[in-house]
Amino acid sequence: MKNMKKKTNSINDAFASKFAKSMFIAVCGIVILSFFGTRMFTHVDWNLYGYMVGTIVFLGGFFYRFIAWGERPPTKIIIKKGMKLLFRKSTPKTSVDHLATYKFIWNRGIYRWTQHLLIGWGVIISCLVTFPLVFGWMYFTMEESGMYTIVGMGMDIMTVPADGFIAFMSYNALNFSAIMVIMGVCMALYRRLKNMQARAEQNFMYDFLPLYLLIFISVTGLALTFINVFLHGAGHYVMSLIHQYSVVITLIYLPFGKLAHIPFRPLSVFAKNYREHYGEKSMKQCKVCENEFVSTEQSNDVINVLGTNEIEFNMKDGFNLAELCLPCRRKYRIARFSGFATHEVPIKEANQNAKG
């Protein structure tokens, strides 16, 4: 008799997919953090209920998008090898350059760098303030003595004067972030409307709609402050609903549109570490011009991934197309269509060193 394999019981068997398991773990984590943060749900602001629902839907969409993206063979390689290289000495500097100062955009010009810095940090600050408030991880209490207590995860963090600088910054953190986003979005819209190349590459739904959503959220948020300060709360209820709906719609849309690159941005550190680490080990020479253009590891990974997807680029000349640098690859592809072996011509073309 053939040996019957015993069925192994695994936690994965309890879920229909990796997405379902990841979403379950994320929601449970949020509930646990909220339980402690709100002191066993005794400090829950039900006025923020809509934001809470929108955030949970956003997490569902994010996990769906991330898992679908992460299951691709190239992405698996970057994530797997990026995790192993996470503790490189250069990781802190790379993280600051890619996630804080946006140094990689500086080479594109100070205008675009300023634009990204305003939008990026405006969104980050608003998230750092909004999400803890929504899930009760942070809230504020006012003492009879006129002192303002900031509570984080159920613990009193600090007590400050209600009319002091720290309290003022706490009150207006979202206003400052809204102004940053409005300035950055206006800069982005101006460039996309005036720059001919940008205009040719943009379309309304993918490129302009996310910017309009960001600016609408920011304007309605500032309008709430204006109503409370200068109109003594007149129209506050209607404006708060408009603002809340705009935030919820944007949260639901975020994982599926262009704004999805915001939560995906940290993975750029993996890609940078991958290129630097294997580039230091061994570089691949182009089979035509013999210039070093990529790490040997990356070249081999590209060839393996193409094979996994049953895509073969083995040329009759005895090399794989992935073993050519970008300029030579471009010339070789032209040769296949024209019949003229342009990749063998040593003279550089006008577009030989193009990086696009």
Q: Of 3 and 304, which is predicted with more confidence? A: 304
Which pLDDT score is estimated for 224? 92
Higher pLDDT, 226 or 340: 226
> Using 50, 70 and 90 to split pLDDT, how confident is the model at 49?
confident
Share of the chain above pLDDT 70, in %: 89
Domain parsing of the chain, residue ranges: 18-268, 283-344
How many beta carbons lie within 10 A of that of residue 263, not counting itself? 16
Q: What count of other Cβ atoms lies within 10 Å of the Cβ of residue 318?
A: 8
- pLDDT of 219 higher than 80: yes
40: Cα within 13 Å, side-chain hemisphere: 0
Q: What's residue 257's pLDDT?
A: 84
CA 178-169-165 angle, to 5 degrees, is 155
Distance, CA of 167 to chain centre: 30
State the pLDDT at residue 350.
41
Long-range contacts of 43-51 (CB under 8 A, 24+ apart): 43/136, 43/139, 43/151, 44/136, 45/133, 45/136, 45/139, 47/240, 48/133, 48/134, 50/244, 50/245, 50/247, 50/248, 51/130, 51/134, 51/244, 51/247, 51/248, 51/251
Confidence of residue 125 (pLDDT cuts 50, 70, 90): very high
User: How does DSSP classify residue 289?
Assistant: T
pTM: 0.78
Two structure tokens written together for 115: 């634009």
Beta bridge partners, 150, equal: 140, 158
Q: How confident is the model at residue 186 (pLDDT cuts 50, 70, 90)?
A: very high
Per mean pLDDT, which range of 10-19, 73-82, 90-99, 148-157 is the poorest?
10-19
Residue 290's pLDDT band (cuts 50, 70, 90): confident
**316-331, pLDDT tens digit by residue?**
667 777 788 888 877 7
d(C-alpha 35, C-alpha 29), whole Å: 10
18-268, CATH topology level: Fumarate Reductase Cytochrome B subunit (1.20.950)
Length of the chain: 356
pLDDT at residue 175 in the model: 94
What is the rounded CA–CA span in Å between residue 102 and residue 98?
A: 5
Using a pLDDT cut of 90, give the percent of the chain over it.
19
